[in-house]
Amino acid sequence: MEVFILRFNDYRAENFIPSEMICVDESISRWYGQGGGWINAGLPHYVAIDRKPKNGCEIQDSCCGVSWIMLRLKIVKEEEDYSSTDIEEKGAVMVHGVKVLKELISQWTGSGRLVCADSYFASVQAAEVMEQEGLKFIGVVKTTMKMFPMKNLQSIELEKRGDRVGLVRRKEEGDCDLLAFAWMDRERRYFICSGSNMSDGEPNIRQRFRQEDEEDNAEPNNITLIIEQPKACELYYSYCAMVDRHNRCRQKDLNLERKLVTKDWSKRINISLLSICVIDTWLAYSGILVDKTEKNRRIFMVTLPKN
């Protein structure tokens, strides 16, 4: 199993050139087998979280932010792989999510790409490490608050959707290297950023049903919400959900994990990997043959394998 995963990663890294955007997130390989003490009989690690639609083995992954094609996969094999506990690496204390983030993007260090990550990976340290690796970073901060100016941002009132406030960190030379900001949607959302700014971006447009008539049992109206957002938010929300979209294609459209039910753990993992390969093949085909524009075709450039 280990050898297969390593070969899978090496093949992806050598033969596909991703876009300038990389999304980092998690996927679930759904498990139908027994739980409890039986998990120790062969499961690498069983994840059951209320906010996750599926239970099973978690796979931490990175994908191209434009084509959705998966780039690197890391199977969570034990509780420590999922923990947010700080670890020591080369004499420095590092948040566990940052360590995983480095593993998932190591193939593209120094390329200047923009990495978008959710709250499991995002922190001030993550932005600093990405800068050291020659990459830009945007992430939502929820759990890892170390060095993040949360109290300062919370103390500033935001009245309506679209309002924003930010703080910058300056180097000794006076240049800004990090931006921490809050943006108001239904609630405040906090970001750490080293790859964009607070200038006006394209507004976030949503269609929602609202009951505007005060009469009882009145029919709701379909209205358009236009929410102003900074450029950093526009970039983040344009690319942060690409792994989720890939997962939806695999779990809902392709549906192999439901059609091929198994209680054998090695079969389950291989079925999930096969599903990922099938979706990636379809995405590459669509990008090369269906989209004829030269600009987008460059995203799907491939190189011949060595020998």
Model pLDDT, residue 38:
55
Contact 192, 141 (CB under 8 A): yes
164-186: average pLDDT: 90
pLDDT band at 11 (very low <50, low <70, confident <90, very high): very low
Query: What is the layout of strands, in order, in the sheet containing 176-184?
Result: 70-75, 56-64, 21-30, 114-117, 136-140, 188-193, 176-184, 164-170
With cut-offs at 50, 70 and 90, classify the pLDDT of residue 37: low
- 84 within 8 A of 76, measured Cβ to Cβ: no
Reported as a pLDDT band with limits 50, 70 and 90, residue 12 is very low
For 44-63, how does the pLDDT look when each residue is reduced to its tens digit (9 = 90+)? 677 777 766 677 788 899 99
What is the three-class DSSP state of 299? helix
Give per-residue pLDDT as tens, 120-132.
999 999 999 999 9
Of residues 306 and 125, more confidence is placed in 125
DSSP string, 214-248: -STTPPPEEEEEEE--BHHHHHHHHHTTHHHHHHH
- What global pTM score does this model have? 0.80
pLDDT score for 170: 87
Using CB atoms within 10 Å of the CB of residue 206, give its burial: 0 to 12 exposed, 13 to 18 middle, 19+ buried.
exposed
What pLDDT was estimated at residue 171? 81
205-259, pLDDT tens digit by residue?
888 888 777 777 778 888 888 999 999 999 999 999 999 999 998 888 888 878 8
> In this structure, how many other beta carbons lie within 10 angstroms of the beta carbon of residue 217?
6
Q: For residue 121, with 0-12 CB atoms within 10 Å meaning exposed, 13-18 middle and 19 or more buried, which class applies? A: buried
R_g over Cα of the chain: 21
Mean pLDDT of all residues belonging to the chain? 80
Q: Where are the domains of the chain?
A: 1-103+240-307
pLDDT value at position 75?
Answer: 85
Please give the Cα distance from 129 to 306 (Å, whole number). 32
Residue 5 has pLDDT above 80, yes or no: no
Choose among 307, 138, 134: nearest CA to 229: 138
**d(C-alpha 63, C-alpha 55), whole Å:** 22
